Every structure is written in structure tokens, then in C-alpha cells.
A = this chain, B = another copy of it.
């Protein structure tokens, strides 16, 4: 990859501070903590950022989204005061949820946190921790009651990544980049004050904060796809190929583009509705899954189409522009990168289970909790 890790981190941190001072880094946070834009205003902001091809805040992503929404929903006042301003000052977060044997079946995680006095001692292995090699803090799920049913013995912690016993190793991905990491935890000490919510209530906290969170994230991503992604796809179709023809003049290509524009338009409305419903406390139990599934598969189909239409030339694009996000116009890489949306945070298969069960009341599989 053309850009070194150091350049990437420095660039992201500088860009975060620039946005922060303009008041645009955390528009979705409550006003008292430094945010306070309405949903409509956020959409306009994201449209503008996308239209100007502004880089996305990938490094701060977990901090401003997952960490913040967890703290706001379930953290103590002290935890909020400790971390929310620090995030604005540049504190980086990662998420320690998945494990080698706990992927789709996240609730079967084995990392243990044993209470000893007023600390927990943590041992185990985490996987797919995005950005863990740059993170200061980690949202950690660990088992505090090995005898309880799977989902009932898990607790939610804030873990200092600089604590002794935390060992991080980057994993190289299909795209060639290394955003994900493995994390080996050996007798890591976490003070009990860094427990979020009640002991053994971690599963519930993770579920609700993740669901509520998703809308915010999707709002930005949908605007990005609609404004930057579709524009680049259209440009790829209008650009003449080596034999002098423009893909757009093939009515099949034009038809597919019209289909994508329609779907993106629907996605954008859907994301807005999701956030609004959530704000009004009328969110449906499958809302977040519907949007995540639809976005990720639409992204994958669009990027695949971009790769197809661009022909051989797209294979010679060996890297994506700095901080471009999911769609960058390097279509083959974009297509491969789209699996980063259909697999993590609940695969598309798991999302369909959730939608069928929570959205339509269909029965679970027998024997599967």
C-alpha cells in the first residue's frame, strides 16, 4: 500500500482535529458533549463531505460511534467524563468482541474476566479488532460467569490497551491492508470501575448500543454511497474504454445504473427513517439489521458491477486513495473490500435470521440459542 501506517495515523488525527474545530467531528453526539446537529443537518453535512470527497474518519470510527454510544447509553457519569472529552482530543478506540471460535456465534465467546477484589483479571484471545494496533482503549466483552447460559455470563469492559498483558498483532486482509488485529490477553488487569453496566449484563448492553448505533453510521455511509459512490460509478460508465466505446451507451449498463440510483435513493430514505424512528423511541427490532444487510449487499453489487464495467484497467489499480472509505473508484479492490461489510458485525446470514425472527416473529432453530 502506498501510504505508510504512520502517515495514515497522522493524517487521520489531523483531519479529525480539523473537523472538530469546524464542529463537524461528532455531529451525532448530544449538544452537551460537543454535538447536537439534527438528523436533517447531519444528512446535509454528510452529503457535503461526500460531494467534496472529504476523507472519512476511519481511525476515530469506533471511538466516536461505538464507544460514545455505549458510554452515553450505559456508562457511568465518571466514565463519560473521563472518555468523551478525551475522544474529542484524539483518544482512539477499538472493539474486542469476536474470538476465533466465536464468530457468528458471538455469545459463545471464551475470554474470561475473573474478579479479584476490585479488579478483573482477563485472559483470552480476540479477533477482528479493527485498528487495535493504534488504539488507546478497547470495548471488551468477556465472560464473568462461566456457569451461566451463554448470553448471561458476559460483561462489558473498558480496557486500557496500554495495560500489561495486551499483545496486538495485525492480520493482513484480502485487500492487502491490515486494519484488523488479533489480540492476546494474558492476565490483563481491569479495575472494576471500568465495568460498563452490571456484571453479566454485557450481552444486552452490546446488543442495544450496537443496534441504536448502526443508524448513525449508516446515515453517513448511505450519503457517501449516494453522492460519491454513484458519481464515480457514473463516471466510470461515461469514460470511453480503450476501444472507444462508452459503457453507458450499452442500454444494459444504463439500466443497471438506473437500478443502482433507485436503490441508493431508497437506502438514503431508509437510513433517515431509521434514525428518526430511533430518536422517537419507535424503532423496530429488526430496523438496524435491515439497513446493515441492504447497505452491505448493495455496496457489494455496485462494486462488483464497477469492476465488471471497468474491464482489465480496474485490475491495474493496486491501491485505494488515502482514507477513501468503502468506494473509491478502484473497483476490484472496492469489490473485495465489500466483504468487510457482509461478514463482520453479524454476517448477512445472521442479519437474515434476526430480521426473520425479530421482524416477522418466525421461530428460532431448535437447539440454537
Contact = CB atoms under 8 A, between A and B. Distances in A.
Interface of A: 250-252, 255, 365-367
9 contacts: A250-B251, A251-B251, A251-B252, A252-B252, A252-B255, A365-B365, A366-B366, A366-B367, A367-B367
A251 B255 CA distance: 10
A367 B365 CA distance: 11
Nearest to A365: B365
Which of A252, A255, A365, A367 neighbours the largest number of chain B CB atoms within 10 Å of its CB?
A252
A366 B250 CA distance: 50
A14 B151 CA distance: 69
Contacts of A367: 366-367
Contacts of A255: 252
A67 to B, nearest CB: 39
A250 B252 CA distance: 8
Contacts of A250: 251
Nearest to A254: B252
Closest 3 CB pairs of A and B: A252-B252, A251-B251, A252-B255
Nearest to A252: B252
Nearest to A256: B252
A252 B253 CA distance: 9
